[in-house]
């Protein structure tokens, strides 16, 4: 049985330079073992589903990207990075492979590759047994930037069956509510006000058609049929996640992209009406749909609570997480002290919980914003966000053990 898993997205590109033809110096930010890996706080993109082509971008704040995949038995895998479908620039990647240990940690890497096949991209071949694996992609240097892709081929009895796109196979399926409730559907024109986030999304969506050279919002609207782009908001109740699709006509065919909450990362492309490169999969959020449900769920034990009214009450990861949580409602908050001046009453509620089925310690930072509840939940003592709280509801739950 042969399956194809596409991890960061895109086929191998034209040959660049072979390692050794020039002096690149020593690799920077080398993840030597599990403990050292944690300093990078990798951007985790979830399960690596077979037949998909997710992409990611190395930036100043997101320099390490990970995906996971599972094998049910023995299998041979071939993992490799390559160019992005929307950006043809070459990115000097390094690819690492990990196996999850019994305690849930990743430990030291199993394999690593820098340059392969005469390019600056990376490739690995390994015979593996049943288990959960993680692929990590980083730049060769800390300053490496750019959009890239990874593909993983799997051959053998242990290759799991392909999973199904949350939204169905076509944009029509998405509109029919296959992936969740349609909470918004409207037409946008060039004169509409768009947030900086949505401006970036519009450009990326239009680049999914033949108009890959589009770089501005104004230009994007001139390239689509009727100078109109359709915005459709979707809420996955079971998974407690919010998505938004930007769709338009290009030569009477349907094109566009689907994005996750608060992100410019594509979870699916719309091409000729079909959903391609879909990375969104069905999940059940263990937190429930909203903060109120979590607090009343017997699976969660309340361990303690703190009321924060001054920035000095928090430090380290807690201060960073609290600031991040406040930015869910107040994106321009300069720091924790500034954020506390914006929340209702200047009060930030911190609640510690334990998820009994998994033993996971969770720390919630919530506050009032115009009499509505906002904030975020994190793995306690870290900045690993498990869910954002928007008007009491979760919009990007990643806690689905």
- Cα–Cα distance, 67 to 63 (Å, whole number): 14
295 φ, ψ (degrees, to nearest 5): -65, -30
Contacts of residue 16, Cβ cutoff 8 Å, sequence gap at least 6:
90, 118, 119, 120, 121
Cα-based distances in Å from 391 to 77, 291, 309, 372 = 43, 9, 21, 5
- Cα–Cα distance, 374 to 223 (Å, whole number): 37
Alpha helices, DSSP H only, in 302-371? 316-326, 336-340
Hey, what are 196's tokens?
């900086």
User: How many CB atoms are closer than 10 A to CB 79?
Assistant: 28
**Does pTM surpass 0.75?**
no
**The predicted structure's pLDDT at residue 46:** 78
Hey, what are 324's tokens?
């991040």
- Cα–Cα distance, 185 to 233 (Å, whole number): 6
- 201 secondary structure, DSSP code: H
In the block, tokens 């086929």 appear at 11
- Please provide the distance, in angstroms rounded to a whole number, between the alpha carbons at the two ends of the chain: 28
Hey, what are 125's tokens?
């071949």
pLDDT in 10s for each residue of the chain, 401 residues: 454 444 443 333 333 334 444 456 677 777 765 444 444 578 888 777 666 677 889 999 889 999 888 888 999 999 999 888 777 789 999 999 999 887 778 889 999 999 888 899 999 999 999 888 999 999 999 899 999 988 888 999 888 665 689 999 999 999 999 999 999 999 999 999 999 999 999 999 999 998 999 999 999 999 999 999 999 999 999 999 999 999 999 988 999 999 999 999 999 999 999 998 888 999 999 999 999 999 999 999 999 999 999 999 999 999 999 999 999 999 999 999 999 999 999 999 999 999 999 999 999 999 999 989 999 999 999 999 999 999 999 999 999 98
Hey, what are 315's tokens?
């430090």
> Is the Cβ–Cβ distance between 163 and 95 less than 8 Å?
no
Cα-based distances in Å from 133 to 110, 144, 203, 363, 389 = 10, 25, 34, 27, 30
**The predicted structure's pLDDT at residue 163:** 64
Contacts of residue 316, Cβ cutoff 8 Å, sequence gap at least 6:
none
Rg (CA), the chain: 22
Hey, what are 397's tokens?
């739950």
In the block, tokens 């109109």 appear at 228
**Would you say the C-alpha torsion 378, 379, 385, 390 has a positive or negative sign?**
negative
**The predicted structure's pLDDT at residue 106:** 83
Pairs from 313-322 (Cβ < 8 Å, separation ≥ 24): 314/350, 317/381, 317/382, 317/383, 318/350, 318/363, 318/381, 320/383, 321/363, 321/365, 321/376, 321/378, 321/382, 321/383, 321/385, 322/348, 322/350, 322/365
């Amino acid at each position: 049985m042969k399956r194809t898993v596409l991890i960061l997205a895109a086929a191998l590109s034209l040959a660049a330079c072979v390692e050794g033809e020039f002096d690149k110096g020593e690799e920077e930010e080398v993840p030597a073992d599990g403990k050292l890996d944690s300093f990078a706080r990798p951007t985790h993109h979830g399960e690596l589903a077979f037949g998909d082509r997710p992409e990611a971008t190395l930036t100043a704040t997101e320099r390490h990207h990970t995906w996971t995949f599972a094998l049910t038995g023995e299998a041979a895998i071939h993992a490799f990075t390559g160019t992005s479908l929307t950006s043809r620039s070459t990115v000097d990647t390094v690819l690492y492979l990990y196996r999850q240990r019994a305690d849930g940690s990743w430990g030291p890497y199993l394999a690593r590759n820098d340059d392969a096949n005469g390019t600056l991209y990376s490739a690995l071949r390994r015979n593996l047994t049943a288990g959960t694996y993680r692929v990590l992609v980083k730049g060769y240097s800390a300053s490496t930037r750019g959009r890239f892709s990874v593909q993983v081929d799997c051959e053998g009895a242990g290759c799991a069956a392909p999973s199904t796109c949350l939204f169905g196979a076509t944009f029509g399926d998405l509109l029919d509510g296959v992936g969740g409730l349609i909470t918004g559907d409207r037409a946008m024109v060039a004169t509409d006000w768009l947030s900086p986030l949505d401006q970036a999304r519009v450009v990326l969506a239009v680049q999914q058609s033949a108009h890959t050279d589009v770089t501005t919002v104004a230009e994007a609207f001139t390239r689509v049929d009727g100078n109109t782009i359709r915005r459709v908001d979707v809420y996955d109740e079971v998974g407690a996640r919010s998505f938004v699709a930007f769709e338009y006509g290009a030569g009477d065919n349907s094109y566009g992209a689907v994005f996750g909450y608060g992100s410019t990362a594509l979870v699916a492309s719309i091409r000729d009406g079909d959903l391609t490169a879909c990375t969104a999969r069905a999940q059940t959020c263990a937190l429930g749909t909203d903060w109120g449900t979590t607090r009343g769920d017997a699976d969660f034990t309340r361990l303690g609570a703190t009321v924060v009214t001054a920035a000095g009450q928090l430090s380290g990861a807690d201060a960073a997480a609290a600031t991040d949580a406040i930015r869910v409602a107040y994106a321009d908050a300069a720091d924790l002290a500034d954020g506390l001046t914006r929340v209702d009453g200047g009060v930030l509620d911190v609640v510690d919980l334990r998820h009994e089925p998994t033993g996971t310690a969770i720390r919630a930072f919530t506050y009032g914003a115009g009499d509505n509840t906002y904030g975020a939940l994190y793995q306690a003592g870290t900045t690993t966000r498990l869910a954002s709280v928007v008007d009491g509801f979760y919009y990007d739950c990643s806690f689905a053990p």
